[in-house]
């Protein structure tokens, strides 16, 4: 046996490969003596939070929630926090200043995306304070008085130098990375674009911060109720945005969502998952526990409202009904 074979045999005997890398023998030894693999600082911090008694007043309950949310932010993607496309309020660059101000008033937002006829052709965004500045400059009169009658509210916003840039982010981007980019560029609005350049959603810096501190509502935010109500006939009518857990609690234990809770968050998401597409109005989808999910209102991109009927049907019959002309009348 040549001398060159001896080191190779020694490496093999000690769990090393031909490159001299350890075959995790240190980790095996630690596990054998009960030490386990070394923890990261993140793991140690999370474990300390879990093991600390809730009665320990050195960390308040609110601080615990914030710390856990901060730790969880690492795994949060942009598409986890974005406002879906169907809920985006945007304006075309050919509308007038007056129409823009009316849209700001109706939407209650401080920033609006601007596009060229379609949301898939974005130009940027407009901040309400820039629109008000144009209004004020056009109304300047003698002294400090403003004469709003002199403002040209018919001027096109595309010609008024109002449009600011936005950030474009893929759905898979980490929310923390987008937050850092927003801070460095001083741009607080991002459009989420897919691989084909289509707009999937919108993210504001507030959306990301809310994953840590919870909902941030100001004096202009109206609490919008997501309704789940009995229909008087043994079933329920629900907003498709209703949380799946809330729907299950209202309908009862027969509405078993255990197989879906890790995949979808809302009733609308459940229906799209079960149907394999966005159902149309009148379609019927077989739901958990044999319940019938009847689509009461929908548009091409989303389900809006649903009737949940107990008992119901099997998946084959539900699929046939949803694809058969006249099923809308039957579901009604």
Domain assignment present for 2: no
Kindly give the interhelix angle for 128-138 and 97-107, rounded to the nearest 10 degrees.
140
Q: Which of 213, 236, 269 is the last residue in one of the domains?
A: 213
163 lies in the same domain as 265? no
Is 70 exceeded by the pLDDT of residue 15?
A: no
Phi, psi (rounded to 5 degrees) for 250: -75, -40
Q: What is the pLDDT of residues 33-71, one digit of tens each?
A: 555 556 677 777 777 777 776 666 677 767 777 787 788
Rounded Cα distance between 318 and 254, Å, is 18
Domain assignment present for 33: yes
Q: What is the pLDDT of residues 104-116, one digit of tens each?
A: 999 889 999 999 9
Q: How many domains does the chain have?
A: 3
Residue pair 257/266 in contact by the 8 Å Cβ criterion: no
Exposed, middle or buried by CB within 10 Å (0-12, 13-18, 19+), for 93? buried
Residue 44 or residue 174, greater confidence = 174
Q: What is the pLDDT of residues 188-227, one digit of tens each?
A: 999 999 998 899 999 999 999 888 877 665 545 555 556 7
294 lies in the same domain as 197? no
Rounded Cα distance between 187 and 70, Å, is 22
Contacts of 325-332 spanning 24+ positions with Cβ under 8 A: 327/282, 327/283, 327/284, 328/281, 328/282, 328/283, 329/282, 330/282, 330/284, 331/282, 331/283, 331/284, 331/294, 331/295, 331/307, 332/282
Average pLDDT over residues 4-20: 46
Instruction: Spell out the residues 6+ positions from residue 251 whose beta carbon is closer than 8 angstroms to its own.
Output: 236, 291, 308, 310
To the nearest whole number, what is the mean pLDDT of the chain?
Answer: 78
Domain assignment present for 274: yes
Q: The domain that contains 318 carries what CATH number?
A: 3.30.465.10
Domain assignment present for 232: yes
Domain with 205 in it:
80-213
88 lies in the same domain as 194? yes
Domain assignment present for 14: no
156 lies in the same domain as 175? yes
Q: What is the pLDDT of residues 230-255, one digit of tens each?
A: 887 888 999 888 889 999 999 988 99
Cite the beta strand spans of 167-291 per DSSP E.
167-169, 189-193, 199-204, 228-230, 236-239, 284-286
Q: Which two tokens stand for residue 320?
A: 């046939």
187 lies in the same domain as 163? yes
Question: Interior CA angle at 251 toward 215 and 305, to 5°?
Answer: 65
C-alpha of 42 from chain center: 25
289 lies in the same domain as 326? yes
Kindly give the interhelix angle for 61-72 and 205-213, rounded to the nearest 10 degrees.
130
Rounded Cα distance between 103 and 162, Å, is 15
Domain assignment present for 197: yes
pLDDT recorded at residue 276: 81
Q: The domain that contains 162 carries what CATH number?
A: 3.10.580.10
pLDDT recorded at residue 315: 39
């Amino acid at each position: 046996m040549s001398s060159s074979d001896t080191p190779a045999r020694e490496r093999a005997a000690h769990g090393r490969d031909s490159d001299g890398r350890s075959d995790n023998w240190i980790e095996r030894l630690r596990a054998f003596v009960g030490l386990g693999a070394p923890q990261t600082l993140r793991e140690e911090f999370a474990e300390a939070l879990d093991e600390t008694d809730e009665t320990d007043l050195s960390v308040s309950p609110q601080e615990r929630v914030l710390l856990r949310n901060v730790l969880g932010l690492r795994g949060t993607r942009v598409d986890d926090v974005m406002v879906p496309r169907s809920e985006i309020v945007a304006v075309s660059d050919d509308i007038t200043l007056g129409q823009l101000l009316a849209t700001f008033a109706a939407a209650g937002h401080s920033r609006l995306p601007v596009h060229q006829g379609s949301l898939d052709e974005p130009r940027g965004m407009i901040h309400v304070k820039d629109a008000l500045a144009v209004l004020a400059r056009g109304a300047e009169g003698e002294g400090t008085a403003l004469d709003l009658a002199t403002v040209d509210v018919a001027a096109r916003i595309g010609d008024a130098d109002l449009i600011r840039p936005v950030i474009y982010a893929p759905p898979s981007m980490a929310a923390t990375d987008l937050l850092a980019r927003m801070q460095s560029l001083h741009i607080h609005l991002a459009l989420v674009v897919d691989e084909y350049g289509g707009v999937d959603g919108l993210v504001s810096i507030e959306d990301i911060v809310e994953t840590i501190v919870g909902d941030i509502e100001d004096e202009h935010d109206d609490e919008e109720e997501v309704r789940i109500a009995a229909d008087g006939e043994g079933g329920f009518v629900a907003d498709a945005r209703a949380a799946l857990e809330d729907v299950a609690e209202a309908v009862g234990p027969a509405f078993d969502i255990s197989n879906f809770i890790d995949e979808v968050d809302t009733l609308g998401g459940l229906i799209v998952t079960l149907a394999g597409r966005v159902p149309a109005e009148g379609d019927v989808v077989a739901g958990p526990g044999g319940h019938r999910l009847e689509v009461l209102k929908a548009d091409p991109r989303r389900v809006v409202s649903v009737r949940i009927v107990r008992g119901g049907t099997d998946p084959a019959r539900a699929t046939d009904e949803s694809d058969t002309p006249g099923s809308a009348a039957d579901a009604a």
